[in-house]
């Protein structure tokens, strides 16, 4: 079951054009939607989650029309928004049981089994009696995933899930999403390049409501091989470098500045070839040096 987004557009009453003719094909597995804040990611997520309507276009999940069959979509959808509230004085076990009841799991024993399975899957079983107000940011995010997984959704949407998490919690959370992606379509919306690099077999880069690139991360990085160069310099040398070369990014390293440049040939003295990474893909697309193309995924093979 794949998610097909075709020619989606949205302009808000204040004149802001949030999405401009967006089309994506999202196969089963982990798919990363990467872009800066304000790129249109959350608007698109809300539309797929049946919370907002576009001005035009279509969204299909398998045979279901997302825009016209909202009740059916909600039965097979899990959604973890960027911000969600919890009742701080209620335990994780109690609140998850309540959400399971709302989801339609009426039989007490079945509900208890589902709640236990999800709390174990999200590594919250040992703290199930603890009040949610005492949970860390990462624990709350994992609880949000447990809620989103009620009903075994075929589509899981997670919007900026690792923002604000410490490194250890981020690793736990990404490992959890990776496991879920083995059996469902998982759409990960983020501005953090590392999240997509570590998790996603396919990705799209969006900015100002337009898709700049849709590709497999590994293939997109390989396409840049031989065109990424690095040079270590003093900070004072950078202003003279920028007008002459397509500087993608700069970082400090041991008090020196490391500049990464996009060029089809060696840019000049002091540069060395660098292995492309997903940040290079991202900044190249944002600068208009690659992108405006769609790599279609291999068709699914039915045994």
The domain limits of the chain are: 3-86+135-218, 226-274
pLDDT at 25: 93
Question: Do 295 and 214 contact (CB within 8 A), yes or no?
Answer: yes
Q: What confidence category does residue 300 fall into, taking pLDDT thresholds of 50, 70 and 90?
A: very low
Average pLDDT for 52-59: 96
- Could you tell me how far CA 241 lies from the centroid of its own chain? 33
pLDDT at 157: 92
Angle at 155 between CA 146 and CA 153, to 5 degrees: 50
pLDDT at 126: 95
Q: Would the pLDDT of 298 be above 70?
A: no
pTM as predicted: 0.85
Average pLDDT for 249-277: 92
Question: Do 270 and 241 contact (CB within 8 A), yes or no?
Answer: no
Q: What confidence category does residue 259 fall into, taking pLDDT thresholds of 50, 70 and 90?
A: very high
What is the percent of the chain with per-residue pLDDT over 70, rounded to a whole number? Answer: 96
Q: Which two tokens stand for residue 40?
A: 């249109």
Average pLDDT for 81-85: 78
End-to-end Cα separation, the chain, in angstroms: 15
Residue 162 vs residue 225, higher pLDDT: 225
CATH superfamily, region 3-86+135-218: P-loop containing nucleotide triphosphate hydrolases (3.40.50.300)
Q: Would the pLDDT of 193 be above 70?
A: yes
Q: How far apart are CA 221 and CA 280, in angstroms?
A: 8
Average pLDDT for 37-53: 93
What is the percent of the chain with per-residue pLDDT over 90, rounded to a whole number? Answer: 62
Q: Would the pLDDT of 75 be above 90?
A: no
Average pLDDT for 205-213: 95
Which residues, in sequence order, are CB contacts of 240 under 8 Å at separation 6+? none
pLDDT at 303: 39
**Per-residue pLDDT tens digits for 93-110:** 999 999 999 888 999 999
Q: How far apart are CA 86 and CA 109, in angstroms?
A: 24
Q: Would the pLDDT of 297 be above 70?
A: no
The mean pLDDT value of the chain amounts to: 89
């Amino acid at each position: 079951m794949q998610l097909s987004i075709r020619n989606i557009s949205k302009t808000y009453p204040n004149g802001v054009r949030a999405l401009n003719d967006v089309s994506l094909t999202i196969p089963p597995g982990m798919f990363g939607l990467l872009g800066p804040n304000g790129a249109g990611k959350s608007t698109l997520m809300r539309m797929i989650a049946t919370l907002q309507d576009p001005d035009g276009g279509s969204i299909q999940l398998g045979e279901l029309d997302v825009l016209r069959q909202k009740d059916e979509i909600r039965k097979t959808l899990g959604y973890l928004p960027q911000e969600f509230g919890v009742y701080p004085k209620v335990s994780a076990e109690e609140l998850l049981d309540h959400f399971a009841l709302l989801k339609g799991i009426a039989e007490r024993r079945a509900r208890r089994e589902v709640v236990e399975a999800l709390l174990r899957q999200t590594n919250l079983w040992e703290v199930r009696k603890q009040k949610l107000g005492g949970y860390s940011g990462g624990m709350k995010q994992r609880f949000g995933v447990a809620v989103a997984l009620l009903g075994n959704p075929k589509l899981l949407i997670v919007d900026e899930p690792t923002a604000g998490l410490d490194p250890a919690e981020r690793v736990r959370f990404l490992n959890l999403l990776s496991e879920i992606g083995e059996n469902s379509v998982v759409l990960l919306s983020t501005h953090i390049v590392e999240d997509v690099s570590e998790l996603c077999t396919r990705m799209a880069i969006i900015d100002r409501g337009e898709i700049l690139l849709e590709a497999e991360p590994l293939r997109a990085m390989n396409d840049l091989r031989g065109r990424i160069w690095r040079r270590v310099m003093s900070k004072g040398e950078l202003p003279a470098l920028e007008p002459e070369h397509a500087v993608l990014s700069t970082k400090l390293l041991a008090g020196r500045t490391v500049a990464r440049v996009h060029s089809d040939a060696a840019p000049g003295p002091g540069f060395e070839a660098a292995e492309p990474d997903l940040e290079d893909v991202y900044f190249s697309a944002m600068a208009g040096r690659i992108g405006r193309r769609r790599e279609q995924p291999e068709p699914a093979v039915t045994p």
